[in-house]
Amino acid sequence: MLVKMFKLKYNALALVQIFFGFFNSILLLKIFGVSKQTDSYFIGDIILGAVVMVQMMAVEQFMYFYNELKAGNRESAHSLYAFALFLSLVIGALSFAVINLFSAPVIALFAYKLDPARLDVLKRLFPVFSMLAVVNPLNFLNAKLLNAEGRFVYPYVLGIIPSLFTACAMCYMYLSGGSDIMAVLAASVAGNAAAVFLGLWAVRSSGIPVRFAAGHPLAMEFVTNSFKVKFGHNINNILTPLVTNNLLSAFSPGAVSYFGYAWKIVGVLGNLATGPSARIFASGISTAWPAGDMGKMKAMAAQYLRLVTPLFAFSVLLAFAGLPYALRLVSSSLSGADIGAIRMMFLALSAWYLFGLMESAYMQICIASKRSRVFVINNSIFITCYFAVAWAAKGTLGIYAIPFGLVLAQILSLLLYFCSASRVLKGGCTA
C-alpha cells in the first residue's frame, strides 16, 4: 500500500491537477483582485459546496456497498451503479429546479448580511451555479465507481478537465482585458459537463455497462444508510458553510476574498500533500472492511498519516514564508494590509486543514463501518463548538474568529473520531 500511494503516474497526474488549481488561483487574483465580484463568487462557491453535500446524501455509501456486492456478485454491483446513476440524474435535475425557484431564500439563509452591491452580483451568478448542481452528482458517482475499481487515473483526469476549461477562459480574459467573473463560472460548467461524458466513457471502457435503473434489491438499504451516514456528515458540511458565510458577509467588503484566496492556497497544498494517497486509502479501507481485516485497516491509517501530515506541514511553512513575495508578484493592486490579511488567514486555515487531514484517517474507518450515529454525535459537537467560539470571539478577533473557532472545534473532533475509530478496530465487523 505504501508503494502504491507513491506510484509515479498517480503522483504525476496529481501534480497536473495541483498546477491547474494553483494557476487558476493566480489568474483569479491577477484579473479580479480583492473585489465585490470575488466576494460574491466565493460566497456562491461556498453555498454550492453545501448544496453538493445535500446531493451526496443519497449516494454517499456507494463505494462501500459496491465493493461488498462485487466480492460476491459482480452483476449485482453493476446494477447498483445503474440505480445510483439514475438517482444522481434525478437529484441533479431536482437541485437545479429548487435552486432557481428558491434562490432568494437560499441566498438569504447563507448570507443574510450581504450588502446590496455584492448581493446583486451574487444574484446574477446564482443561475450559473445552479447548472453545476446538475452535473456534480454524476461526476461524484463516476469518481467513486472508478476508485472502487482501482482505476485511479481516470478520476484525476476527469478532475483536471474543469480546471483546464477555467484556465483557458481566464487566460483569454487576461489577454483580452476582460473582467467578468461570469465567464469563469460558465467555463467551469462546460468543463464539468465534459467530465460527465468522459467519465461515462471511462466507466464503459472499464467493462461496466452504462445504463439507468429505477431500482435495485439493495436500493432501500443503500439509500437509507447513505442518508444516515451523510446526515451525520452534513451536520458539519452544511452548517459549517452556513455559519461561515453568515459571519463573513457581516464583515466589510474584501473579507470574503481574504478567506477565499487563503482557502484556495490551502486546498492546493492539501492536494499536494495527499496526492493519490487519499483515493487509494479510501478504496483500500472499503475493501479491507468486508474482509474483517482490522489489522490492515489500522496499518493503512498509520501509513497514510505518516505520508501526508509531515508533507502538508512542511509545505505550509514554505508557503507562509513565500506568500508576501508571491502575492506582490501576482498582483500589484494588493496593499500591504491585503497581503498580511491573506497570509494570516492562510496560516490559520492551514491549522484547521491539518487537524482535519489527521481526522480523515479515522473518519474513513468509521465510514466503512457504516456507524451513522458516530457522525451525528461527533459532528454535532463540532458545529456547536465552532459556532459558540466564533460568535463569542468575533468582537475581539474580527474575521480571525472564524479560523479560531474552526481550529478549536477541529481538535475536539479529531479526538472524538480517534476514539470512535479505535472502538471500531477493537470490536471488528461485529462491533
Cell, residue 368: 466503512
- Residue 297's pLDDT is 86
- Residue 364's pLDDT is 86
User: Which stretch, 273-287, 336-350, 368-382, has highest mean pLDDT?
Assistant: 336-350
**Band of the pLDDT at 6, cuts 50, 70, 90?**
very low
In the predicted model, what is the mean pLDDT of the chain? 88
* pLDDT at residue 274 tops 70: yes
* pLDDT at residue 428 tops 70: no
pTM value is 0.76
* pLDDT at residue 13 tops 80: no
**Band of the pLDDT at 12, cuts 50, 70, 90?**
confident
- Neighbouring CB atoms inside 10 A of 136's CB total 23
**Average pLDDT for 156-182:** 91
- CA–CA dist 18, 265 (Å, integer): 10
Count up the domains in the chain and report the number: 1
Summarised one tens digit per residue, pLDDT across range 184-193 is 999 999 999 9
Kindly report the backbone phi and psi dihedral angles of residue 400, in degrees, each rounded to the nearest multiple of 5, phi listed first: -75, -5
DSSP secondary structure string, 185-209? HHHHHHHHHHHHHHHHHHHHHTT--
**Band of the pLDDT at 8, cuts 50, 70, 90?**
low
Eight-state DSSP code of residue 58: G
Distance of CA 153 to the CA centre of its chain: 19
> For the chain, what is the largest distance between any 2 Cα atoms, rounded to a whole number of angstroms?
63
> How far apart, in Å, do the first and last CA atoms of the chain sit?
26
- Residue 7's pLDDT is 58
| Domain housing 217 | 2-430
Task: Specify the 3-state DSSP secondary structure of 178.
Answer: coil
- CA–CA dist 41, 163 (Å, integer): 16
**Average pLDDT for 375-381:** 89
Summarised one tens digit per residue, pLDDT across range 312-345 is 999 999 999 999 988 888 877 788 888 999 999 9
**Band of the pLDDT at 430, cuts 50, 70, 90?**
very low
- CA–CA dist 301, 278 (Å, integer): 10
Angle at 305 between CA 304 and CA 306, to 5 degrees: 95
